[in-house]
Amino acid sequence: MKSNELITVTSPLLPDLDGFYELLKDIWKRKWITNNGYYHQELEKALCEYLKVPYISLFTNGTLPLITALQAFRITGEVITTPYSFVATTHSLWWNGIKPVFVDIDPSTGNIDPDKIEVAITPKTTAIMPVHVYGKPCDTRRIQEVADKYGLKVIYDAAHAFGVEVNGEGILNAGDMSTLSFHATKVYNTIEGGALVMHDAQTKKRVDYLKNFGFAGETEVVAPGINSKMDEVRSAYGLLNLRQVDQAIEARHQVAIKYLEALREVEGITFFEDMPGVKHNYSYFPIFVDEKKYGMSRDELYFKLKERGILGRRYFYPLISTFTTYRGLESANPNNLSNAYKMAEEVICLPMYHALSEEDTEETIIIRRIALFVACN
């Protein structure tokens, strides 16, 4: 990377091109390029082992697993969720004819506040859809306590949480189902892709029907499914990336350490520390700008960084609850979402990807350049 090139907020983890070519030649030889082929099956097996989960189903992107999970459990009525997420979380509810009910977040994590969930429950509530924001685990125990008390399903949007563990247990085992995104911007990617994690074979079977038009056999259709199957090319790409994802996560960890060292004493800039007992994946490095203490607003800093070729991201800004589709909902009232509004107004995600950590190269200089610019303005 040249010092005058743009520094993007993320950069994809790419498999070895020669290795990928060898798998492509095998796919060409097999002439089975979609519909639950060899590499599709191999990737599901490999991901179950890596993620420490019993069952997984691959999808073409990270939004369709959310939509399909709601279909699989026949969720209706109202679902309690967070306004501090990517729009796909809430859009999946809307596409299923479900009313999202927003509750505020815990400012110490950015995740949905379990204390706010119970008071938002109505006779129409059927599920909770929390998000592991930036890969930081939700308080799954307290959320499950509320769900069990009221007989609600819990579907986690774990798009950011690939490989995250709490006390040695994969975070994807929490709740009734968890969804993943394998988009190119994520820690682990299949170019475009996603997955749905479930706990039993029967649910896995139903999900696999739903992602294949509802077919249960050659001539039997048991549900109004859609086509959201991952193809063989992306499955093979994913198998290769899985071999190097641990190395990439550790490289991200080193980037985070450098940011922490450079920014820890900067007045008006705060960030999340690692959580005790958690194996993080360092998917993002958000900082939060206190305008009064820092002497500059978040947007001023964001655009100054941009002018110097450093592309941060105001993620998540604006809140989902402010968008046209949702702002008329009673739960979208800003008075009920003060923590989420504050975080959305202060956040910038700094560039974070594996290649920024390489020792004795210009990438290390770039990390210092970003951090020093934030520190010295």
Q: Which residues contact 103 (CB under 8 A, 6 or more apart)?
A: 80, 81, 82, 112, 113, 116, 117, 120, 331, 336, 337
| Cβ atoms within 10 Å of 15's Cβ, excluding its own | 18
User: What are the sequence ranges of the domains in the chain?
Assistant: 17-242, 245-376
Q: What pLDDT is attached to residue 365?
A: 55
Closest CA to 286 of 341, 352, 347, 339: 347
Q: Kindly give the interhelix angle for 298-307 and 362-376, rounded to the nearest 10 degrees.
A: 140
Q: What pLDDT is attached to residue 374?
A: 75
Q: Which residues on neighbouring strands pair with residue 99, listed in sequence order?
A: 78
State how far the Cα of 208 lies from the Cα of 56, in Å rounded to an integer: 10
CB 241 within 8 A of CB 48: no
Strands 194-198 and 177-181: antiparallel
Strands of the sheet containing 165-166, edge to edge, are: 169-170, 165-166, 278-279
Start-to-end C-alpha separation, the chain:
24
Closest CA to 63 of 235, 239, 196, 210: 196
- Reading the block at residue 27, the tokens are 């796919």
- Reading the block at residue 49, the tokens are 């082992």
On the 0-12 / 13-18 / 19+ scale of CB atoms within 10 A, 200 is: exposed
Residues in the chain: 377
- Reading the block at residue 130, the tokens are 């929390």
Q: Which residues on neighbouring strands pair with residue 198, listed in sequence order?
A: 55
Q: Which residues contact 251 (CB under 8 A, 6 or more apart)?
A: 354, 355, 356, 357, 358
Strands 125-129 and 78-81: parallel
**What is the separation of C-alpha 150 from the centre of its chain, rounded to a whole number of angstroms?**
27
Strands 165-166 and 278-279: antiparallel
| Cβ atoms within 10 Å of 95's Cβ, excluding its own | 15
Strands 194-198 and 347-350: unpaired
Q: What pLDDT is attached to residue 34?
A: 97
Q: What pLDDT is attached to residue 368?
A: 63
Q: What pLDDT is attached to residue 5?
A: 77
Q: What pLDDT is attached to residue 375?
A: 73
Q: What pLDDT is attached to residue 262?
A: 86
- Reading the block at residue 201, the tokens are 């074979």
Instruction: Give the CATH number of domain 245-376; options: 3.40.50.10420, 1.10.10.10, 3.30.930.10, 3.90.1150.10.
Output: 3.90.1150.10
Q: What pLDDT is attached to residue 186?
A: 98
> Could you please report the per-residue DSSP string of 114-135?
HHHHGGG--TTEEEEE-B-GGG
Q: Are 17-242 and 245-376 the same fold in CATH?
A: no
Q: What pLDDT is attached to residue 6?
A: 86
pTM (two decimals):
0.95
- Helix (H) or strand (E) holding 157, with range, is strand 153-157
Q: What pLDDT is attached to residue 1?
A: 45
Closest CA to 359 of 247, 241, 251: 251
CATH code of 17-242, in short, is: 3.40.640.10
pLDDT tens for the chain, 377 residues: list them: 455 678 899 999 999 999 999 999 999 999 999 999 999 999 999 999 999 999 999 999 999 999 999 999 999 999 999 999 999 999 999 999 999 999 999 999 999 999 999 999 999 999 999 999 999 999 999 999 999 999 999 999 999 999 999 999 999 999 999 999 999 999 999 999 999 999 999 999 999 999 999 999 999 999 999 999 999 999 999 999 999 999 999 999 999 998 998 899 899 999 999 999 999 999 999 999 999 999 999 999 999 999 988 899 999 999 999 999 999 999 999 999 999 999 999 999 999 999 986 543 355 456 566 767 777 76
